[in-house]
Amino acid sequence: LSVTCSWRGPLENDEVNALHAEAFGHAVLDDDWQAQLERHSLGWVSARDGEALVGFVNVAWDGGVHAFLLDTIVAASHRRRGIGRELVAVAEAAARAAGCEWLHVDFDDELAPFYFDACGFTPAPAGVKAVVRA
Ligand SMILES: CC(C)(COP(=O)(O)OP(=O)(O)OC[C@H]1O[C@@H](n2cnc3c(N)ncnc32)[C@H](O)[C@@H]1OP(=O)(O)O)[C@@H](O)C(=O)NCCC(=O)NCCS
């Protein structure tokens, strides 16, 4: 793997916005990732191939023993090389080091082999509800 994964590695907003848009198929947004991550997350993991950002995962936190993975992303050009698994492993180690006892994630059915088999998560019922203002 010529790619380096870093816990809380520096990120530019533009590169995260570009990666997110590619991964989830939407227009490139202008989100202030740096501010959101610093203010609300336990941390994040970046993956770089040279200077290029090719992977990211956000580790949200309740301030106690629960951490939550959000936006696990590997650039399309770099998938199926084990980078996603490594992003999650670095996130898991950092959550453990911060005193967390549980790491949560939710995802669509098609990613069950990634999270259950490759990353070692256990299936558990979960719920989600849209709470956007009508
Ligand atoms: C999900 C994602 C992060 C996986 O990243 P990746 O670097 O390709 O994953 P890895 O190479 O570490 O995969 C390890 C194993 O997980 C499984 N896996 C990975 N991606 C998979 C997929 N899309 N469907 C089914 N199984 C998958 C495979 O068993 C794989 O091993 P193999 O390549 O030897 O078959 C990447 O596909 C991605 O960014 N997708 C778009 C964004 C997204 O939907 N993120 C999830 C949000 S919950």
CA distance 99 to 88: 17
pLDDT in tens, 52-94: 999 999 999 999 999 999 999 999 999 999 999 999 999 999 9
How much distance in Å is there from the Cα of 37 to the middle of ligand 1?
23
Does 1 have pLDDT greater than 80?
no
List the strands of the sheet with 4-7, edge to edge.
4-7, 41-49, 52-61, 66-74, 102-104
In a 3-state reduction of DSSP, which class is residue 131? coil
Tokens of 24: 């989830």
Residues lining ligand 1, Cβ inside 6 A: 23, 72-74, 79-85, 107, 110-111, 113-114, 117-118
CB 13 within 8 A of CB 33: yes
CB 46 within 8 A of CB 56: yes
**pTM for this structure?**
0.97
Report the atom number in ligand 1 closest to the C-alpha of 83: 7
